[in-house]
């Protein structure tokens, strides 16, 4: 009991220190989203788990050297990046937070760079919502179980809403912009606006439906020392709605910064020599922006 209390106290103090300012929170989540994290080896993971177990079983943890503390923090980052916080099972590399930017490269090609024919709209949004559904499942709150029926319902609803919104806005864009869409930079930015609109609605619904059981059951709440007070439905509702709203607004900084980047390159009269290089540049800009926007 003394070891558990000691570790809880240290863990809570560290968490409060890491989250004490916007910059520290940004750095913390930026490290969690490091694109190199998906390539953590099994050996590194086992070493990190051993370091954490030794730390948690030691009453002298707070008296260790700075080097030991550095190793502990590194091991903790590895554990959080690879293992599910509730089940401690390894999250498939494709669905880790650190892999979102890399996984989005092929998805962004269909959503942003390709000419938006009806078939491209259908297949690209189907692929994107399939990825989001799996991502939400593997990063869910495992203390609130969800049935396969609920997962299927959420998947079908979000996929249908994404395709419907994308199709509707695209038709309006074709009527309003017309010949302007023949220009490459206009087409790409229009594709991005359509995608952001569709994914914002679908992302909100996807996360809310996948995690709605948390609202019914409640989530654990803790005091400043890390001791649990019990389950709270009110806290669960606030957490789920805030997370879902974050999914809604997450797409729009990508649109803004992408449009600014394309506009800046156009003002500098920078134009790749071939279409393939143009697509590679657009995908690169979108990936870098997404990597910074998530934290």
**221: enclosing H helix or E strand:** strand 219-222
- What's the number of CA atoms in the CB half-sphere (13 Å) around residue 17? 7
Distance of alpha carbon 139 from alpha carbon 92, whole angstroms = 10
pLDDT at 3: 38
- The percentage of residues in the chain with a pLDDT greater than 90, rounded to a whole number, is 0
Confirm if 32 and 38 have CB atoms less than 8 A apart.
Answer: no
Q: How far apart are CA 13 and CA 220, in angstroms?
A: 18
Check whether 235 has a pLDDT greater than 70.
yes
C-alpha 82/C-alpha 38 separation (Å) is: 8
Q: Does the pLDDT at position 16 exceed 60? A: no
d(CA 192, CA 195): 5
Q: Summarize pLDDT for 159-205 with one digit per residue, the tens.
A: 888 888 888 887 887 777 666 666 766 777 777 788 778 878 887 87
Residue 9 confidence class, pLDDT cut points 50, 70, 90: very low
pLDDT digit string, tens, across residues 276-291: 887 888 778 877 777 7
- The answer to whether the Cα torsion of 287, 288, 293, 295 is positive or negative is positive
Other residues' Cβ atoms within 10 Å of the Cβ of residue 140: 20
Here the tokens at position 152 are 């299927």
pTM here is: 0.72
More confident site: 39 or 4: 39
Residue 93 DSSP one-character state: G
Q: How many residues does the chain have?
A: 295
The predicted pLDDT at position 12 comes to: 42
Per-residue confidence at 65, pLDDT binned at 50, 70, 90?
A: low
pLDDT per residue over 115-124, tens digit each? Answer: 778 888 889 8
Give residue 19's pLDDT. 63
Q: What angle do CA 257, 262, 265 make, to 5 degrees?
A: 125
| pLDDT tens by residue, 77-107 | 788 888 887 788 888 888 887 787 778 888 8
Run of H or E residues at 231: strand 228-232
pLDDT (tens digit per residue) in 202-211:
878 777 877 7
DSSP 89: P
For 103-124, b/e burial (b = at least 16 CB within 10 A) is bbeebbbbbbbbebeeeebeeb
Long-range CB contact pairs, 49-54, < 8 A, 24+: 49/75, 49/79, 51/75, 52/76, 52/79
Strand, coil or helix: 88: coil
């Amino acid at each position: 009991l003394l070891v558990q209390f000691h570790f809880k106290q240290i863990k809570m103090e560290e968490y409060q220190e890491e989250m004490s300012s916007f910059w520290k929170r940004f750095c913390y989540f930026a490290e969690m989203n490091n694109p190199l994290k998906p390539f953590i080896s099994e050996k590194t993971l086992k070493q990190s788990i051993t370091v954490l177990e030794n730390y948690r079983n030691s009453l002298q943890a707070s008296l260790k050297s700075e080097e030991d503390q550095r190793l502990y923090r590194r091991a903790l980052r590895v554990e959080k990046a690879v293992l599910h916080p509730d089940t401690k099972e390894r999250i498939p590399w494709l669905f880790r937070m650190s892999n979102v930017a890399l996984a989005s490269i092929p998805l962004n090609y269909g959503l942003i760079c390709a000419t938006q024919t009806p078939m491209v709209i259908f297949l690209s949004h189907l692929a994107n919502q399939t990825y989001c559904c799996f991502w939400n499942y593997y990063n869910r709150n495992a203390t609130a179980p969800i049935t396969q029926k609920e997962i299927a319902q959420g998947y079908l609803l979000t996929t249908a809403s994404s395709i419907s919104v994308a199709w509707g806005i695209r038709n309006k864009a074709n009527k309003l912009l017309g010949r302007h869409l023949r220009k490459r930079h206009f087409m790409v930015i229009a594709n991005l606006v359509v995608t952001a609109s569709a994914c914002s609605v679908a992302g909100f619904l996807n996360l809310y439906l996948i995690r709605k059981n948390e609202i019914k059951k409640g989530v654990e709440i803790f005091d400043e020392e890390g001791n649990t007070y019990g389950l709270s439905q009110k806290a669960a509702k606030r957490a789920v709605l805030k997370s879902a709203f974050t999914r809604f607004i997450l797409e729009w900084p990508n649109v803004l910064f992408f449009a600014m980047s394309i506009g800046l390159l156009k003002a500098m009269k920078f134009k790749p020599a071939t279409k393939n290089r143009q697509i590679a540049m657009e995908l690169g800009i979108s990936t870098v922006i997404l990597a910074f926007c998530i934290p």
